[in-house]
Amino acid sequence: MQKIDINNKTLFVTGSAGFIGSNLVKRLFKDVKGATIVCIDNVNDYYDVSLKEYRLRELDKAKPADVEYVFIKGDIADKATIDGIFEQYKPAVVVNLAAQAGVRYSITNPDAYIQSNLIGFYNILEACRHYPVEHLVYASSSSVYGSNKKVPYSTDDKVDNPVSLYAATKKSNELMAHAYSKLYNIPSTGLRFFTVYGPAGRPDMAYFGFTNKLVKGDTIQIFNYGNCMRDFTFVDDIVEGVVRIMQGAPEKKQGEDGLPLPPYAVYNIGNNSPENLLNFVDILQQELIRAKVLPEDYDFDAHKQLVPMQPGDVPTTYADTSALERDYGFKPSTSLRDGLRAFAEWYAGFYQ
């Protein structure tokens, strides 16, 4: 492991108006000293733009005096923009979180995935090739495990059977990163995030969408008749993992042929404790009442419908986090109760 000091360095974060990106930058503001943090996001309207603008305003407020913060509204799929940023700032560590997320949207809007996740990521790789970086960290996804049956999911498992275009683009990112690590000796680490949730999260995800619907008095649909298991991971745990990983890159080594061995790694970041969707909804309901988002006498049964599995979805996600613990001494641990409480309290303050 090559240790990296992220103080007094230039760090480049893509997708900084996004859920995970904005939380990461806020955390970097607290942790790093004397750094320049360059961020990009195209602030697209895949979901409510006002939420992205809110996160950006929070970042403006949180910026400490000893950190330089540059936000660029731009598209990672635009090569000239990315090249211009690397030319001007020459970042030491890059964290690529910008992507078209979501499994179901990839059925109706495949173009967005090819643009952001493939062309965008390729532009980042090419820039890292021409302006060498100490570490490229990028978001992959638990969805690469597709319909694998063996649990918990390990990064040693074969992941060649994606069941959505989204998953296929994320697996492609890992393959592209491997080739660039090998060819150009770029230290890269891919992170397979498992169902991330928390305050100011993504409205397209179940916990947030359920809440919006229940507030409006609509009926929520629980897929696979509630028999889905998800390794729900609180956003602070994801951010803790990313910050640790930014500071430890796979080491550069020479192979027997005199050429570099790829300084390449992939880790799971998940809670290592899958929850049944019905239990999850139950805790969410209790926390929404506690935060006064919903009244005590809310008739949940009248607003719940159990429906079949959706195309592109998988029945179970469950992260094996032993490699993360071994190499970075960390494993997510926030309970669903604490995490959903934080979400419900934020929701109450933001919308009501």
Ligand X SMILES: NC(=O)c1ccc[n+]([C@@H]2O[C@H](COP(=O)([O-])OP(=O)(O)OC[C@H]3O[C@@H](n4cnc5c(N)ncnc54)[C@H](O)[C@@H]3O)[C@@H](O)[C@H]2O)c1
DSSP string, 93-107: EEEE------STHHH
CA angle (102 as vertex; 179, 291 as ends), nearest 5: 130
Rounded CA gap, 142 and 140, in Å? 7
Q: Which two tokens stand for residue 263?
A: 């300084």
Please, how many CA atoms are within 13 Å of residue 216, restricted to the half-sphere of its CB?
Answer: 9
Q: Is 75 in the site for ligand X (CB under 6 A)?
A: yes
Whether 190 and 266 have beta carbons less than 8 Å apart is answered as yes
Q: Which residue is associated with the tokens 């190499």?
A: 327
User: Considering beta carbons, is residue 201 or 263 the nearer one to ligand X?
Assistant: 201
Residues binding ligand X: what is the number (CB under 6 A)?
28
Which 126-155 positions form the footprint of ligand X (CB under 6 A)?
139, 141
Binding to ligand X by CB under 6 A, coded x per residue (else -) over 77-106, reads x-------------------xxxxx-----
Candidates 177-185, 191-199, 221-229, 319-327: pick the segment binding ligand X (CB under 6 A). Answer: 191-199
Q: Which of 4, 27, 31, 44 binds ligand X (CB under 6 A)?
A: 44
Residue 227 Cβ vs ligand X, minimum distance, rounded to whole Å = 20
Q: Is 40 in the site for ligand X (CB under 6 A)?
A: yes
H or E element at residue 122: helix 120-130
Q: Which residue number places its CB atom closest to ligand X? A: 18
Q: Is 123 in the site for ligand X (CB under 6 A)?
A: no
Q: Which of 113, 193, 280, 347 binds ligand X (CB under 6 A)?
A: 193
Q: Which of 116, 155, 271, 321 binds ligand X (CB under 6 A)?
A: 116
Rounded CA gap, 31 and 199, in Å? 20
Residues forming a β-bridge with 233: 196
Catalytic site positions:
166
Candidates 41-49, 253-261, 271-279, 314-322: pick the segment binding ligand X (CB under 6 A). Answer: 41-49
Please, how many CA atoms are within 13 Å of residue 261, restricted to the half-sphere of its CB?
Answer: 8
| CA–centroid distance for 169 within its chain | 14
Nearest CA to 169 among 223, 109, 229?
A: 109
Q: Which of 195, 247, 268, 316 binds ligand X (CB under 6 A)?
A: 195
The DSSP output letter for 115 is I
Q: Which of 202, 230, 331, 341 binds ligand X (CB under 6 A)?
A: 202
Rounded CA gap, 253 and 167, in Å? 30
User: Considering beta carbons, is residue 138 or 264 the nearer one to ligand X?
Assistant: 138
Whether 57 and 24 have beta carbons less than 8 Å apart is answered as no
User: Considering beta carbons, is residue 99 or 283 the nearer one to ligand X?
Assistant: 99
Residue 190 Cβ vs ligand X, minimum distance, rounded to whole Å = 10
Residues of this chain that bind ligand X (CB under 6 A): 15, 17-21, 40-44, 52, 75-77, 97-101, 116, 120, 139, 141, 193, 195-196, 202
